[in-house]
Structure 1
Amino acid sequence: MAPRSTAVAVFTVVAAVASNGAVWHPAAMSRAVTVTTGARLHFGLIVAPGHQFGSVGLMIDQPGFVVRIEPLGKQSPDRIAATPQTAQRVAEFLAQYRSARSAAPVAVSLTREIPAHAGLGSGTQLALSLAAGLSRLFDAPPATAEDLAWLMGRGKRSIVGRVGFTRGGCIFAPPATAETPPSGTADLVVLPTPADWRFLLITPPGQTGLFGRDEQRAFQQMAPMSAELRDRLLRWMREEGQPALARADFPAFSAALYAFGRAVGEHFAPHQGGPFAHRQMAALVDHLREQGVHGVAQTSWGPTLTVLCPHAAAARALADRIAADPRWCDCRRLCAAPRNEGARIVLETD
């Protein structure tokens, strides 16, 4: 038997995406492909006229997906090994992919998952993992990551998850204008997050953020964002957030992170129950700020909060204090590091 070879690619602009933006794909017949992602933190949308959206977020190393895809015989049904909710989403995304591209039956197994509807970007990371993996496995025509996101029905409002999948880092994406393409990428800024920083994720038990029809209804009913608020958020993005991150100024970025997230949360408050989506988490925000912890933000629709910490020891100590407090001891806690690279794709070939 011929030895199996393994090709490893990091899905970034310079590695897994060719210089012209085309997704690299193999000529050799592949035995399997494994895609490993991080998770996405999303600090809020900037809503501009004409249904244009800007956004700010970053990638962290965990939780994430590890998705292995292996081709099966032509007459075999797909086999999916995952938690029930994720297995259903995988089946739906496989159908979505096949609505536009050819892919034989596959066995899909997930050994690590991002919790759904917790504000961590599970839908986009899973959809792009499958689309990129299937494209590699079956030698599909070249496509940009943006093409794959649209094929899978992702990134229609925020491009943070898609850009994070391909590049990692902290993503500052202002709304598109008449001078920029609809993707809003002309003024996109992606900066590395300092490697020592940590993000403590805190999720209340049994809660989810808005998703599906409830999320669609919220956007349909939402009042327009005022020009004053929009301009204030853009100034934060360009004049406070980006410079603070570029110089690794932890106090300044912490303060700006809270200010941005709080302002966006107040705009979305009628649809999520307040500036923060969960009463227990809102009380925790107040408590942390009273204790001098300033870099606190809700990610997406929540309910997960993220707390920016200067290093791993500080994150662990804060997690221990929260675990010891009866008001929040039932919350799930996870300490994550920044992820400054895109999804990792490992291809096994004959």
Structure 2
Amino acid sequence: MTESADKQRSLPRKGRGAASKPDARYLGDTREAFDDGWYQDTEIAPLRTTVTVEHSKTVLSRNNSPDIPFEQSVNAYRGCEHGCIYCYARPTHAYMDLSPGLDFESRLFVKPDAPELLRQALAKPGYVCKPIALGTNTDPYQPIEREWRVTRGILELLNDCRHPMTLVTKSCLVERDIDLLAAMSERRQIEVFVSVTTLDHGLARSLEPRATAPQRRIECLRRLHEAGVTTGVMFAPVIPAINDAELEAVLEAATAAGASHAGYVMLRLPHEVKDLFREWLDNHYPDRARHVMSLINDIRDGRDNDANFGSRMRGQGVFAELVRQRFRKTCKRLGLNQPTRELDTSLFIPPPADRDQMTLF
């Protein structure tokens, strides 16, 4: 049976999170699928990933948001091939006049000079050492890191400079850099968080199709812990009626693997993400799509998204409060999030301003 072009284009693609390419919101025009009678019910060709080199002027980003636990971050890549349908970073592709949908996970940008730009920032006379966060926008260990090794270069620089950092990933590729991570952890200069959204392999395959499988992420936590790396788990995002029932199970599995810290973030649906997520629900959970969105609207004060500081990360209302209490009680039972000393900034050694100039000592 032949379907219309509009419906066919919204069907899931194998290995991709989004099913469509909504237009970037800054474009002057929009496009709409139209069945002119010529469309044939043929298999959609696989979507290839392309990588474009991006030369930035700066790479160190700063923020003063009261509900974010870091003040500065570095992102080596723009776009992310993991294809997580819920990713709050998807709308940033609109700045490139690209779609936050399929373009975000297939048209990627790499910053090969990120380590050098970061070195220049750290070498400035007025620089104040504060932990740098990696993995705040896109995953620093997404598949193309195997070839480009930009994250590896950043880690080498921070390790040489004795600079503290935090890292969040859902990829076991982080194990490649255990040598650096272990050395930094011994000096109390790094914490590695592995994001585990679900333990259900089938759900993960549709929710975050090109990320490391859930059980492999738990094993990654174990290997990092055994190497002496301080680890934590992020149960993020919490999606009502989809994965929220797994909160305790994920924290228990991560604790057994050696995680000492845990965090969670309620699902956020900014800009184009809300329509992409609705499309995902219609494709994968049509029986509960309306219920899921009603719960989301309940925790977002009647809207699909809440951008206000504080409530944007945790939500509000009965459901959000229930999740908060479950998380707090589970962490207490498992001994997670015990008070520890902060990452050490006192050991920082600024890199030379001129790479060709030798240091005196």
- The TM-score, its normalising length taken from structure 2, stands at 0.25
Q: More relative contact order in 1 or in 2 (CA 8 Å, sep 6+)?
A: 1
Q: Which protein has the larger Cα radius of gyration, Structure 1 or Structure 2?
A: 2
Q: Normalized per residue, which structure has more strand? A: 1
